[in-house]
Amino acid sequence: MARVRVKSFSVIRDVLGAEVIEIDVAHPETVGGLFNALVDKYGQPFKNRIWDPNTGEMVPFLMKLNEETLISSVSDLDKEIQDGDEIVIIFPIGGG
Amino acid sequence: MANSFKYGGYVGQLLRVNLTNKGITKEPLREDWARDFVGGAGLAARILYEELPPKIDPLGPENKLIMMTGPVNGTMIPAASRTAVCAKSPYTGSFFHSIFGGFLGPELKFAGYDGLIVEGQASSPVYIWIDDDRVEIRDASHLWGKDPFKAQEIIRKEIGDEEIHIATIGQAGEEKAPYAMILCDIRAAGRGGMGAVMGSKNLKAIAVRGTGGVTVPNVLRVYNTAVRLNQLVATIPAVQGLAKYGTPRNVAAMNEGGILPTRNWQTEVFKGMKDITGEVMREKVVKGDRACFACSINCTKYSVVPKGKYKSVINGVDYETIYGFGSICEVDNIEALCKADELCDHYGLDLISTALCIAWAMECYEKGIFTKEDTDGIDLKFGNVDGMLQMIEKIGKREGLGALLAKGTRAAAQIVGKDTYRFTVQNKGLEWPGHTCRPFPAAAVGYATGPRGGSHHDIRPTAEKSGMVDRRTLEGKGALAAEVNHWLILCDSMLLCHLGEPIWGPLKISNNTIEALNAVTGWELDYEGARKIAERQWNMIRCFSAREGFTREDDQLPVRFMEEPVPEGPMKGSCIPKETLERLKDDYYSYRGWDLKTGNPTKEKLIELGLDFAIKDIC
């Protein structure tokens, strides 16, 4: 098992219950696998924040891995994550 | 006139008010122009190109102020409540469209007009009262000098109708401050000095009451389209969160991504971010939520600071407030940001330009260019919250350093000299919103070539910011910027809100946009047809700028973005060097079929788009 920290904001944070949560995932695990684990734990409300129900696809967004690397839900779901890693969900939002 | 127009969604009538001779005329909307330019910014650009001689004084009686609706306004389509205020800008020197949400646009249509053209100059302060067919130019001497909200209150009382919708200017507009805004009920047409144009005409307010409706060819089709679009609003993840947190939902995430502009853009990470997030705003100051006409996004927040020195009541704060007066001035107090927002409304100042002017002054102060003598004793360091609020007051009153800052950073830097131009964050004179381009090449070329300069409504960085396209390559970025221009300008002619970006765009004009237009008008445009209209609109605006003398040389970025890489955070090292920008411009112009040397549309392109009439002016 690997323990991973997930940091999020706004309505994703609301579903996860806190700005930073920890979750146990298989080891080795990928970024995509982490999101599946989050769906298993937090259910449809979490899925509704990340997957577009109209297309059934995960929406494009960036994540920050361990304070330094930016990765994308479009191209990096196969990236391996390790015990102790932190992922920050950076949702693609424009301003008004 | 109503219902006889060839296309659905339109009233088929424009209202023209000449303030010099007090002439009030109602004239038919040209069907060919409606079909070719739709409405809003597109149609206003065509009208102003026709009616304004080149190189006029934007603050003279020759300029015209157009308040334009679009065919979708006033229907049940969501996120379609906006209104375009258009004129030659005193701030940028070219065509400008400043767009606001709320109710006034739909109300203008209900009163029986697709748009209002105000021309000339009144000899004393007036306001225009539109009550369906009845239109009056009324004395506004008693309103001059009044805060916009107070002026609205007085007008509602004297007309005796709480339901009317009113656009007003504040003291800044009356004094023709070049970035004065128009407050439309509670929403702002903030950018580009449209309030100054109104003030130059001695026009304090435009009040509207309409009791009509909007005719569409097939009500069931419009209803079904609206239902489907409302489902998208409710379910698309990138739209969720606006109802609870408004636009500030993105503050914390942007800071984590290293794209929260800070300290007059010296960096893009703000250490005080945690105290000015959307979450903090919701918890500490938000008391309610508000929506625009027929809109289910519900993004506007009603906030109150009940007591203390930052006591205020506002509609907001929006992300741009948090960016401008928060991270850009390094202020980490959400209540103070509410006060800053309230002060800008009180004086009728564009919030973004005001904030960036103060941040520029803070940088001048910290670099020793300004001293306490220049600032009337204010220790104008970054993070000095009360100093920042005092400077808003000074700008509003054009007092001391405020008189200089009221001119905008470009003009102020020209006066001050000493290389202070290098840290003005503006292009074409318009200060930047809180959406960076340093890591995003398509956004960079979009901002540089955009007709308004520093506007995040001519380009959006979303595709590169989300990873939808690779931000690290230059390939294809000219095409991406152009197609983003197209969905944005089509929205600005239909008056769709850009907060519906995932629905209307985000990479190119979406089928949702086309279906909304087709359902309301009865047109059966396909993608190519819709794209051609948008391309025509964009080129029309470019022709306006070219006729004013703008060239490729004017398509620039702030010096800071070309010479100072982001110093820290996940985007460390990002910048758009001058050579890169020039390559991107070549790519963009080539994709558009524009002349690489001048940056103007070519004769062939103008003929292709039916803009032949502009050939004599710019080719």
Taking each helix axis from N to C end, the angle separating B527-547 and B40-51, rounded to the nearest 10 degrees, works out to 40
Domain termination residue (choose one: B430, B458, B487): B430
Whether the pLDDT of residue A92 is over 80: the answer is: no
Note down the domain range covering B295. Answer: 246-430
Same domain? For B94 and B196 the reply is yes
Same domain? For B445 and B426 the reply is no
Distance from CA of B542 to the nearest CA of A (A): 24
Q: Please report which confidence band the pLDDT of residue A25 belongs to, taking 50, 70 and 90 as the band edges.
A: very high
Residue A68 sits at the chain B interface (C-beta within 8 Å): yes
The CATH number assigned to the domain holding A71 equals 3.10.20.30
DSSP for B325-339, written as a single string: IIITTT---HHHHHH
Residue A17 sits at the chain B interface (C-beta within 8 Å): no
DSSP for B56-98, written as a single string: --TTSTT--EEEE--TTTTSS-TT---EEEEEE-TTTSSEEEE
φ/ψ bin of B264: left (φ > 0), alpha (ψ from -120 to 50), beta (otherwise): left
Same domain? For B353 and B483 the reply is no
Kind of pairing between the strands at B65-68 and B83-88: antiparallel
Same domain? For B593 and B533 the reply is yes
Give pLDDT, residue A91: 80
Whether the pLDDT of residue B523 is over 90: the answer is: yes
User: What does the alpha-carbon distance between residue B217 and residue B215 come to, in Å, rounded to a whole number?
Assistant: 7
Residue A90 sits at the chain B interface (C-beta within 8 Å): yes
Angle formed at CA B49 by CA B1 and CA B197, multiple of 5 degrees: 85
Report the Cα–Cα distance between both ends of chain A, in Å, rounded. Answer: 42
Contact B435 A95 (CB under 8 A): yes
Most confidently modeled of A49-58, A63-72, B24-33, B232-241?
Answer: B24-33
Mutate one of B98, B187, B228, B240 to test the A interface: name it (highest A CB count within 10 A).
Answer: B240
Which two structure tokens, joined as six digits, stand for B57? 């004084």
| pLDDT tens, position by position, B605-614 | 999 999 999 9
Residue B229 falls inside a structural domain: no
The CATH number assigned to the domain holding B313 equals 1.10.569.10
The CATH number assigned to the domain holding B466 equals 1.10.599.10
Mutate one of B468, B470, B574 to test the A interface: name it (highest A CB count within 10 A).
Answer: B468
Q: Which residues of B fall within a CB distance of 8 Å from A62?
A: 257, 465-467
User: What does the alpha-carbon distance between residue B165 and residue B206 come to, in Å, rounded to a whole number?
Assistant: 8
Range A23-34 average pLDDT: 95
Question: How many domains does one find in chain A?
Answer: 1
Long-range contact set of residues B339-344: C-beta below 8 Å, sequence gap at least 24 = B339/B305, B339/B309, B339/B310, B339/B311, B339/B312, B339/B389, B340/B388, B340/B389, B340/B392, B341/B312, B341/B314, B341/B316, B341/B317, B342/B312, B342/B313, B342/B314, B343/B389, B343/B392, B343/B393, B343/B396, B344/B181, B344/B392
Residue A57 sits at the chain B interface (C-beta within 8 Å): no
User: What does the alpha-carbon distance between residue B118 and residue B121 come to, in Å, rounded to a whole number?
Assistant: 9
Residue A96 falls inside a structural domain: no
User: What does the alpha-carbon distance between residue B46 and residue B611 come to, in Å, rounded to a whole number?
Assistant: 10
Q: What is the DSSP letter of B123?
A: S
Q: Report CA-CA distances (Å) from B462 to B6, B228, B482, B561.
A: 37, 24, 14, 18
Of B247, B254, B467, the CB nearest to A60: B467
Distance from CA of A71 to the nearest CA of B (A): 8
User: What does the alpha-carbon distance between residue B552 and residue B448 come to, in Å, rounded to a whole number?
Assistant: 10
Q: Report CA-CA distances (Å) from B545 to B32, B493, B538.
A: 23, 18, 11
Same domain? For B418 and B444 the reply is no
Residue pair B25/B209 in contact by the 8 Å Cβ criterion: no
Give pLDDT, residue B238: 85
Whether the pLDDT of residue B423 is over 80: the answer is: yes
Note down the domain range covering A77. Answer: 2-90
Contact A61 B235 (CB under 8 A): no
Distance from CA of B44 to the nearest CA of A (A): 23
Residues 6 or more apart whose CB falls under 8 angstroms from that of B120 comprise B18, B19, B20, B21, B61, B201
User: What does the alpha-carbon distance between residue A16 and residue A33 come to, in Å, rounded to a whole number?
Assistant: 17
Range B284-312 average pLDDT: 96
Mutate one of B191, B249, B352 to test the A interface: name it (highest A CB count within 10 A).
Answer: B249
DSSP for B217-244, written as a single string: S-HHHHHHHHHHHHHHHHH-TTTTTHHH
Whether the pLDDT of residue B1 is over 60: the answer is: no
Angle formed at CA A43 by CA A40 and CA A46, multiple of 5 degrees: 110
Give pLDDT, residue B75: 97
Instruction: Read off φ and ψ for residue B240, nearest 5 degrees.
Output: -60, 150
ipTM above 0.90, yes or no: yes
Same domain? For B409 and B460 the reply is no
User: What does the alpha-carbon distance between residue B252 and residue B610 come to, in Å, rounded to a whole number?
Assistant: 46
What three-state secondary structure class fits B406? coil
Contact B466 A14 (CB under 8 A): no
Same domain? For B480 and B614 the reply is yes
Q: Please report which confidence band the pLDDT of residue B99 belongs to, taking 50, 70 and 90 as the band edges.
A: very high
Residue B8 falls inside a structural domain: no
User: What does the alpha-carbon distance between residue B201 and residue B179 come to, in Å, rounded to a whole number?
Assistant: 16
DSSP for B39-54, written as a single string: SHHHHHHHHHHHHSPT
- Count of C-beta atoms within a 10 Å radius of residue B135: 20
Residue pair A37/A27 in contact by the 8 Å Cβ criterion: no
Residues 6 or more apart whose CB falls under 8 angstroms from that of B67 comprise B83, B84, B85, B86, B104, B105, B108, B115, B116, B118, B167, B206
- Closest residue in B to A15 (Cα) is B241
- Closest residue in B to A59 (Cα) is B237
Residue pair B542/B520 in contact by the 8 Å Cβ criterion: no
Question: How many domains does one find in chain B?
Answer: 3
Taking each helix axis from N to C end, the angle separating B477-494 and B527-547, rounded to the nearest 10 degrees, works out to 90
Residue A95 falls inside a structural domain: no
As a whole-number percent, the residues of chain B with pLDDT over 70 amount to: 100
Of B238, B244, B571, the CB nearest to A91: B238
| pLDDT tens, position by position, B172-195 | 999 999 999 999 999 999 999 999
R_g (Cα) of chain B, nearest Å = 23
The CATH number assigned to the domain holding B199 equals 3.60.9.10
Largest CA distance in chain A: 42
Which two structure tokens, joined as six digits, stand for B240? 């969720």
Residue type, position B52, single letter: L
Residue B234 falls inside a structural domain: no
Residue B228 falls inside a structural domain: no
What three-state secondary structure class fits B101? coil
| pLDDT tens, position by position, B474-514 | 999 999 999 999 999 999 999 999 999 999 999 999 999 99
User: What does the alpha-carbon distance between residue B76 and residue B224 come to, in Å, rounded to a whole number?
Assistant: 10
Among the listed residues B582, B489, B562, B441, the one whose alpha carbon sits nearest the alpha carbon of residue B39? B489
Contact A95 B250 (CB under 8 A): yes
| pLDDT tens, position by position, B27-62 | 999 999 999 999 999 999 999 999 999 999 999 999
Same domain? For B368 and B467 the reply is no
Contact A93 B235 (CB under 8 A): no
- Looking at the DSSP bridge assignments, the partners of residue B168 are B183, B205
Residue B221 falls inside a structural domain: no
Whether the pLDDT of residue B167 is over 90: the answer is: yes
User: What does the alpha-carbon distance between residue B31 and residue B366 come to, in Å, rounded to a whole number?
Assistant: 57
Give pLDDT, residue A94: 57
DSSP for B430-481, written as a single string: EEP-S---TT-HHHHHHHHH-TTSS-TTS---HHHHTTSS-TT--TTHHHHH
Q: Which residues of A fall within a CB distance of 8 Å from B501?
A: 94
Give pLDDT, residue A44: 96
Residue B602 falls inside a structural domain: yes
Same domain? For B348 and B376 the reply is yes
Rounded to the nearest integer, the mean pLDDT of chain A is 92
Which two structure tokens, joined as six digits, stand for B493? 């002619």
Q: Please report which confidence band the pLDDT of residue B385 belongs to, taking 50, 70 and 90 as the band edges.
A: very high
Q: Please report which confidence band the pLDDT of residue A96 belongs to, taking 50, 70 and 90 as the band edges.
A: low
Mutate one of B256, B269, B275, B297 to test the A interface: name it (highest A CB count within 10 A).
Answer: B256
- The more confidently predicted of residues A23 and B1 is A23
Domain termination residue (choose one: B398, B430, B462): B430
What three-state secondary structure class fits B401? helix
φ/ψ bin of B30: left (φ > 0), alpha (ψ from -120 to 50), beta (otherwise): beta
Number of Cβ pairs closer than 8 Å across A and B?
Answer: 120
R_g (Cα) of chain A, nearest Å = 13
Range B4-11 average pLDDT: 96
Rounded to the nearest integer, the mean pLDDT of chain B is 97
Residue pair B320/B397 in contact by the 8 Å Cβ criterion: no
Residue B569 falls inside a structural domain: no
Distance from CA of A73 to the nearest CA of B (A): 7
Residue B462 falls inside a structural domain: yes
Largest CA distance in chain B: 67
Residue A96 sits at the chain B interface (C-beta within 8 Å): yes
